[in-house]
Structure 1
Amino acid sequence: MELTADHYLTPTHSGSLEDYLQRIARVPLLSAEEETSLARRLRDHHDLGAAQRMILSHLRLVASIARQYRGYGLPQADLIQEGNVGLMKAVRRFDPERGVRLVSFAVHWIKAEIHEYILRNWRLVKIATTKAQRKLFFGLRSLKPGFSSLSPQETRKIAEQLGVRPEDVSEMETRLAGQDISLDPGPEDDEHWVSP
């Protein structure tokens, strides 16, 4: 049976995520010379077969990066799919003449796609629309010690590290803890509610 690119690019194509990870682990890595040659063929001749080989040889990088985002409660297969989109964008933009390997160049593109996916799909992240809020969202998750609430000193320290106000850190911490504040009155507020 001949394996297609889709067989490798789709984590849930033939079963479990574990099967997918085993399949991509068997794809040979490229030497620097092979990578440069393939990148030139893609750039100069629009050789899609060259692009495919470059992508397939870097799928385990995507899986490795996607594993770093397990704590967001999103399906690992979806994170990998989004990372694969980033890898494809990186391959399309890769310039072999810059003296940088694709693995180094692709990390940014892979993470950017995964970040965008998380921002689109995580229920509490709908508020993270500005660059500072995204930085705070991802930074707070990595800097916050465990699941306990931050002390005022920790809040100030994190705010300083991320270049935001302590109030922003406290607000994001509340949202990450799942303590969203409702704008609708609760049942206990019925007596104070005035109907229009």
Structure 2
Amino acid sequence: MASYNESTEFLRTFTAQANRYPMLLPEQEAQLARDWTERQDRRAFDQLVRSHMRLAVKVAGKYARSGLPVADLVSEANIGLIKAVQRFDPTRGFRLATYALWWIRAEVQSFVLHNWSMLKGGNTATLKRLFFNLRQTQRRLGIHDRVMSDAEAQQVAATLDVSIEDVREMEHRFATPVASLNVPVGDDGDHEAIDLLADERESVEELLVDQSELKARRALMKDALTQLGERERHVFAARNLSDHPVTLETLARHYGVSKERIRQIESGAYKKVVRRVRAQAEAATLPPPMALGRRMGVMAMA
């Protein structure tokens, strides 16, 4: 496990290096991307990578709480960035930052999941879903970052389609501090080491990327819904895309069938949506979605 001093020093150094390279204007990025895709111009490739290094280090910094060496996290983020630049197609109409964010996150998350001892053993798919979605789901449900009541834990479990035991297990593991990053620092001891790592507020670049990514997710979902019949689409949307999901019993009364039949319709529709989204992501050479939450809103891709 990396020490606090090593982590903060590396992040400062790498951030300073990344900030030396200016962001590209859209027309500059498009020209460099064409130079790379059409002529394999290595200088164009390097410039595209360097201009997006700040995005890579920003993403890597957000996983510092895993306790893994920050240098390794940044290295994995850079691998994701390089893969994105290698595969980027400027003719598809989106910016490199939007495309690269998918690859960077996928590479870092894969590294964390493979190495973080917190996730060793047990149901890896369930732990993965909880690891990346527990805190976000708590905030969305209005649950404070504390030990949850049984009712709150049950609500989170239902939302993420996992057992309450798995929720409690992940809650306990999150509550276990990473000593080297949670030690008090400063004269008054009011701050922790983690506070001096990456700024968790979204940068201007990330806000623009997230806006573009949200648009891409919605487009994928809209396309996937066209693969469903009218009843399938209604059941799927009522159960998965609503802020207040409709119960199986209500839908069963509406269609004059059993609750089990509605569950079967929802399950079949869900599988069709997942297949379509994955196929579309692969066609666009994007990394496949890590998970599709059972309560999607606008759909969880990472």
TM tier, smaller: 0.7 to 0.9
106-115 vs 167-176, which moves further:
167-176
Per-residue CA distance 1:157-177 (angstroms, 9 max, x = gap): 211222222232123334444
Aligned twin of 2:108: 114
Q: Which residue of 72, 87, 91 maps to 1:93?
A: 87
Q: What count of residue pairs does the alignment treat as equivalent?
A: 164
| Superposed displacement of residue 76, structure 1 | 2.2
| Superposed displacement of residue 54, structure 1 | 0.5
Q: Which residue of 131, 146, 149 maps to 2:147?
A: 149
Cα 1:132–1:97, aligned 2, differ >3 Å: closer, same or farther?
A: farther
Aligned twin of 1:5: none
Q: Which residue of 40, 43, 60 maps to 1:46?
A: 40
Q: Structure 2 CA distance, aligned partners of 1:102 and 1:167?
A: 41
8 Å CA contact 1:58, 1:103 repeated in 2: yes
Q: Structure 1 CA distance, aligned partners of 2:43 and 2:65?
A: 35
* Structure 1 spans left out of the alignment, 5+ residues: 1-11, 179-196
Q: Structure 1 CA distance, aligned partners of 2:116 and 2:136?
A: 16
Q: Structure 1 CA distance, aligned partners of 2:12 and 2:58?
A: 13
Q: Helix, strand or coil for the counterpart of 1:127? A: coil
Higher RCO, 1 vs 2 (CA within 8 Å, ≥6 residues apart): 2
Aligned twin of 1:28: 22
Aligned twin of 2:169: 171
CA RMSD across the alignment? 2.2
Could you tell me the TM-score, scaled by structure 1's length? 0.74
Q: Structure 2 CA distance, aligned partners of 1:17 and 1:41?
A: 31
8 Å CA contact 1:128, 1:137 repeated in 2: no
27-36 vs 149-158, which moves further:
149-158
Q: Structure 2 CA distance, aligned partners of 1:104 and 1:129?
A: 31
Aligned twin of 2:75: 81
Q: Helix, strand or coil for the counterpart of 2:120? A: helix
